[in-house]
Amino acid sequence: MEITWLGHAAWLIESDGKRVLIDPFITGNPSAPVGSEELDRIDLIMVTHNHSDHLGDAVKISNRTGAKVVSMFENVNMMHSDGLKQENGFGMNKGGELIDIGGLKVALVQAVHSGNECGVILGIGNKTLYHAGDTAFFSDMELIGEQFSIDVAFLPIGGYFTMGPKQAAKAAKAVKAKVVMPMHYNTFPQIKQDPEMFIQMLSGQRGIVALPGKTIKL
């Protein structure tokens, strides 16, 4: 599996010939290492909520590549109104089991934020990934860890709009992920944080600080 951070909360996941984008905020993202037109051969796009720094270029990339788009039901309806092709939208809701979309396993889980928010679970290859989206810490993260055996968790640490490092370290422990990667920090002045400080707060878990555009192999 190859994981590439595209800055902010955007990630590209590649495994077994499948390519998945999560929260593809590329245009206008000062830390994005690529332009949206450089992202091709995308099979699936997952969007955690409808704020512009997460929904980003989802419609444009899907219409160009044919990628399926998964998000909360209302968010997908909004994207259809913005031009997303009808056959490519998969509006879901929180609480279900993993379902198969084009050979990838997906589910939506609770998040505490705004914007028809959710976290996303992705089963790809033999790994299960959890992208928390924008969220505060909440104790039911333990239930997410119980339901899904999480190999990799992407957690926001910026504070101001989401968890800060201390709460994110609690979240990492709650979901019991084997590998934890921080996100949603240093894009804007309000969310300036030291990711290495967050890594030091982890207890018994591997923490990796990704660099925008650099690919991590797991």
d(CA 55, CA 76): 10
pLDDT of residue 85: 97
pLDDT of residue 203: 87
Strands 11-15 and 18-22: antiparallel
Start-to-end CA span in the chain (Å) = 5
List 14's β-bridge partners, or say none.
Answer: 2, 19
**Which amino acid is it at 72?**
M
d(CA 156, CA 59): 24
pLDDT of residue 96: 86
Strands 44-46 and 18-22: parallel
Strands 99-101 and 104-109: antiparallel
pLDDT of residue 9: 98
pLDDT of residue 38: 93
Q: What is the dihedral of CA 41, 65, 110, 177, to 10 degrees?
A: 10
Q: Does domain 2-210 have CATH number 3.40.50.1000?
A: no
pLDDT of residue 150: 98
Q: Over the chain (218 residues), what is each successive 10-residue block's mean pLDDT?
A: 98 97 97 94 98 98 98 98 98 95 97 98 97 97 97 98 98 97 97 98 95 96
